[in-house]
Chain A
């Protein structure tokens, strides 16, 4: 008996080596995928002279000078990005929650067709209509306006959002809805006191997906904005010099533009997994 407890059995040992193997593999994959991001952040802290060397420098005196250089003039772009992202996400939720309700809790007769229409709008590549979209915006006096960005980003994210919110609403137990109705709750109270509390984590992940796609969007911004509504991806393109030494400057600007969404995504990754998966099973 003493022999058993003094040394690990072959099974324990195998389990342990297995775990080490998975750890090595898991970390190798993590490093490969994270390396470009790490390199971007590392380079952002280099002085320009240390950024373009062969072999690449891994040891250097970190400096904030490139960040200081990169933030000059970022103000309007940052403001536009925040307005377009927050504005479109709020509008998506305002339009999406009632629509999802009408496709799940008290469904309209042709709810399948409705759902199919919403998803089919995502299958039409928006790039195909970019020329006419420009002409329409021009005539509607919406060119280079932040309203246009809010309108288009809302349309871009709404279908996926309706799909996701609907999946979350289907999760609401039928008994709860029936109980509320027996209590005489109307649609509004049913929504406020039964459905909303249950789906609110789902709404967070839906909003998160909308924020990621709106914040990072470039194609519509590059075609339809100039200065009054230009967003952060546009700042990234326009502010970085294309000749001379510019690598550290570029990395500083890229880091600043990416960091907000990276941090939000890191904090909310569990809800991100749940949100993306809901559509698969419902």
Chain B
């Protein structure tokens, strides 16, 4: 599904869309319009306004309102080391969490696809982290789990020579990423599991009859079958994880220093602490442009992979 060109066309019930009359064309368009207009108004207008403010000098705490400053906000953004740092950390956080969560998700899905005692209960327990409110999860990880003096993690790691480590001071970024992985692995597991369960059993049995080993079967049959599911998981995971805010705000508040400040938290600080609407808007515009570049590139890449698959 990640590739627009690859989408299943709707079933052709009547005549082809090209041949429909004008009246019919409008009758078809009508049900689409409310959602289309709604999303254009609610999601696009804020970005247009963002673009406008990015050329304005506008501080909450300074009277007089906004005035035009040309490109100065952008100059500030590009020379701001904090912005570049936040950008890099956002990429590191998202990429690491998505990739590790997907690898674990595939492993857990393969596990849950086996028959074992109490499988239903085990699956229920495994998907729970995805259902817990992220703000609650962040707070629970921050103190009861990772506290240096009485946290459960230090207690459980004691046999491995870990003694009262202050995780959020010494391994802040790693800790935040671990929590993100913990939260998103169940999501990946669910998607991959659905893919596994949709795999026709006849092909697997045929492979077994042909004497194919478990690894060969996985590499040659299961993995290609799972590809669209894995891509869907990576795409959705990235979309949501780029916006990670709760874990950063509630576990480390961006610190120590700026070591866990990602783009969402950086922008939050710009608006709430620095009162700099213009600066935040320029940073937002740069973020959006970068996101579009990455998203387009990712979609193209997926498209090429798919066409290669079909050509074979």
Q: Please report A residues at the B interface, Cβ cutoff 8 Å.
A: 19, 22-23, 25-27, 29-31, 33-37, 39-40, 43, 51-56, 95-96, 98-99, 101-109, 111-112, 114-118, 120-136, 151-152, 154-155, 158-160, 162-163, 170, 174, 177-178, 181, 187, 212, 215-216, 218-219, 222-223, 232-233, 236-237, 240, 246-247, 250-251, 253-255, 257-258, 261-262, 265-266, 269, 272-274, 276-277, 279-282
Contact = CB atoms under 8 A, between A and B. Distances in A.
7 contacts: A98-B34, A102-B28, A114-B32, A158-B35, A187-B27, A273-B193, A280-B1
A51 B39 contact: no
Nearest to A39: B152
B140 interface: yes
Given A121-B39, A125-B263, A33 B136 contact: no
Contacts of B149: 52, 54
Given A33-B128, A134-B271, A280-B228, A155 B39 contact: yes
A131 B271 CA distance: 6
Contacts of A247: 143-144, 147, 150
A128 B128 contact: no
B39 A159 contact: yes
Contact of A29 (B111, B152, B182): B111
B35 A99 contact: yes
Contacts of B18: 109
Interface of B: 1, 4, 7-8, 10-11, 13-14, 17-18, 20, 25, 27-32, 34-36, 38-39, 42-47, 49-50, 52-53, 108, 111-112, 114-119, 121-137, 139-141, 143-145, 147, 149-152, 155, 182, 185-187, 190-191, 193-195, 197-198, 228-229, 231-232, 236, 239, 242-243, 245-246, 249-250, 263-264, 267-268, 270-272, 277, 280-281, 283-285, 287-288, 291-292, 295
Given A132-B49, A216-B133, A124 B267 contact: no
A103 B289 CA distance: 28
Given A109-B25, A124-B43, A280-B229, 19 more contacts: A19-B116, A23-B118, A29-B122, A34-B126, A40-B132, A102-B28, A108-B17, A111-B17, A117-B36, A125-B288, A128-B288, A130-B280, A131-B270, A135-B49, A170-B10, A233-B134, A240-B139, A276-B187, A281-B228
Nearest to B120: A269
B129 A132 contact: no
Contacts of A111: 10, 17
A257 B132 CA distance: 9
Contact of A269 (B43, B124, B250, B283): B124
Residue among A52, A159, A276 with most chain B CB within 10 A: A276
Contact of B144 (A40, A261, A262): A40
Contacts, number: 343
Contact of B46 (A51, A136, A246, A276): A136
A123 B132 contact: no
Contacts of A154: 38, 42
A23 B116 CA distance: 5
Contact of A129 (B47, B126, B232, B272): B47
B1 A106 contact: no
A255 B131 CA distance: 12
